[in-house]
Chain A
Amino acid sequence: MYGNVKTAELVSLRIDGTEISVPSNTSVIEAAEAVGVLVPRYCYHPGIPSRPAQCRVCLVEIEGQPKLQPSCNISVQEGMVVHTASEEARSARRSVIELLLVNHPLDCPICDAAGQCMLQDYAFETRQLASRLNEEKLVMGRDRIAEDILYFADRCIICTRCVRFMREVAEDDALIVAQRGYRAYIDTFPGAVLDNPFRGNIVDVCPVGALVHEDFLFKARFWDLDQTASVCPSCSTGCNVTIDTVENQIVRLKPRHNSEVNSYWMCDHGRKHLIMSNRGLRPEAPLLRRDGKLVPTGWGEALTWVAERLREVSRGMAIVSPHAANESLFYFRTLLDRIGIAGGTFRVEQGEEAILPGFPKLQLRADRAPNASGAELHGFERFDGGAHSDPGGDAVAVLEDPLGELPDEWGREASFFLYVGNRLSPAARNAHAILPVTTFAEMEGTFTNFEGRVQRFHQALQPAGLARPAWLVLARLVSLLEDGGDGGVAAPTLASEAFQVMVRATPAMADLEWASVGLKGARLGSTEAAVPHAQAPAEGA
């Protein structure tokens, strides 16, 4: 009757006067999106498989059918003529919104979701600006659904997206609808809280302000957020995210859709970790050791001094961080080659793994760093034999590893100790020169995820003090070493230029383009060859 769904042949239909051909297994709501018509929706979510058609707000008129149809669970048919905004459809939608607003507290001025609330939007769109209800509103109160998630029952419209996310995507049937009818609310088992590692997504799928993160509660209004496309740095999956900032502070991370990486989801570790980890003492100006003390100085003087000292270095060791961007790792490798240090190691913090069953590609992976693959690609070796050994009397150059848990006297005997990083740990303070660089959130660049997918992130924050992207600092050092800094060798000044230099010099990346990496990333051509130990830690040290 509906044709063979597997072969998904094309069918033509007309939506609001626009002719379109789509595969026969497309729903009307999806087909409408393809012609640029966004039919209102609450219970429908593209990432949640079930289509209960229970919110009734996506009703559309289909010619030849006696009643309005829910566009989310009706498949397209040849010759269908759909009107999403006919008088009948609009009036039905208006009634749905009016009923949803019967017990709604209209507390938009103090609601976290105001500004990105689908109830607010559609109420305004359907001109439901006054209530015809004279009775008292039902007051339900609020509940703690999880350690970090609050549920405002009065705002809830029982679309059950959260319940179905937990049931169908997280496959953890711990969230349910309790009671029924106008008394229905979302609940866990009495006394239990939601502890699934992907529970934060229920806040994202909530079309209204019923489920909110306590971390974000009353922190900011949606309109005041600056939103930046980025990549989650908390494990090697590299979920695409949006970083929301207010006044140069990260207030939350939201997943950004990428069907190849994380679909619409991300894990709770990722949501929290960046905000928590972006603390600690930062170097804000270049620091040079003079008469045994670290003295702040300007960039020009610092780079000239470091370049001079590097000329004298011939042997030593290198340590990098898997949190550094591809471009930074590339220029660090170039610098090391120039001064004659081979190899180099990095350590990857390990953590517990978690899989999202409904989208198994999305995992919280054991490697708690975004760019271990990138570090391997640029010739650095994974090292998990405990702490980094002391360089003794050799030279040592460090890129972005915080040297956190090393003894205070680590590196004190080194002939030359260069620290290019963004944390001032006791060991880092033994450096002869500390060049302050940005965190990934303060710069533009790329990471390579566990399967060799190169993904771009954008600058979300202003750098701390004089900190600059590591690739910029390192490229400048390289050019000073090559020509004394008289301008003969141009150092890149844009991330895109640094990327191009890297791609030309790195065979495994040869087929990448800055523009085509875009917002969704691109896989390296020969992933297997390029990233031999993408996931499994190398044995020994």
Chain B
Amino acid sequence: MSRRIHPSVAGAQPFQLAERDPEAPLFESAEGQERLQAVLSRYPTKQAALLPLLGYANELHGWVSKQDMESIAERLDLTPAYVWSVASFYTMYNKHPIGRHFIQVCTNISCHLNGAQRVLKRFLEETGTRPGETSEDGRYTVIEAECLGACGFATAVQINDEYHENVTPERVSQILAGLDGNGS
């Protein structure tokens, strides 16, 4: 699964987009080292590099594990407790493993008015999960998301890095089938 960068942000994201691989080592690889150095070179203190490195772990593994927090703490001369404090402050770092398809259904006002709750319900039914839970086959995690910034195209659904706009309950099966057809 390769990811595409939208041209409008590509230039502003010099060190982004790791391939998601829950088993990959965080820093014990050429890419990991390169990423660590790239991040460190951009911040005045090691502590300041904490958020981007948590983001890197989140991208690479899909979530931030205890081991990830420990190895980040070690690289940045922080205590693991401090890293946990920061990671837990931000809701968008996943603290639990997620499925291969991380489905975020926007339920803020515009989407809500356009039937987001029904879309969410359908996603949960089709994947056989409860909110935040990963399906048994490891394919799907469905969560309710805050505003995805696509209010003009409600209901908006973000699956991994892809946006799906104007989603209706009827389109859910088709979207899910498309994901599987994607070979992942």
Contact = CB atoms under 8 A, between A and B. Distances in A.
A176 B81 contact: yes
A188 interface: yes
Contacts of A192: 80-81
Contacts of A187: 81, 84-85, 88
A175 B66 contact: no
A190 B66 contact: yes
A188 B66 CA distance: 12
A480 to B, nearest CB: 63
A189 B89 contact: no
Interface of A, secondary structure class, is loop
B45 to A, nearest CB: 15
Given A189-B69, A190-B66, A178 B88 contact: yes
Contacts of A173: 78-79, 81-82
A191 B67 CA distance: 12
A174 B79 contact: yes
Nearest to A191: B66
A179 interface: yes
Contacts of B79: 172-174, 189
A180 interface: yes
A179 B66 contact: no
Interface string B40-83: 00000000000000000000000000100110000000111111
Interface residues of B, number: 13
Contacts of B70: 189
B76 to A, nearest CB: 12
B88 A175 contact: no
B88 A179 contact: yes
Interface in B81-130: 81-85, 88-89
Interface centre among A172, A174, A180, A190 (most CB of B within 10 A): A190
B88 A189 contact: no
A403 to B, nearest CB: 46
B81 A188 contact: yes
A179 B78 contact: no
A173 B81 CA distance: 7
Contacts of B85: 176-178, 187
Contacts of B81: 173-176, 187-189, 192
Given A173-B79, A189-B69, A190-B66, A180 B84 contact: no
Interface string A151-173: 00000000000000000000011
B84 A179 contact: no
A192 to B, nearest CB: 7
Contacts of B78: 173
Interface centre among A174, A178, A187, A189 (most CB of B within 10 A): A189
Contacts of B69: 189
Given A175-B81, A176-B81, 8 more contacts: A178-B84, A179-B88, A180-B89, A187-B88, A189-B69, A189-B70, A189-B81, A189-B83
7 contacts: A173-B78, A173-B79, A174-B79, A176-B81, A176-B85, A189-B81, A190-B66
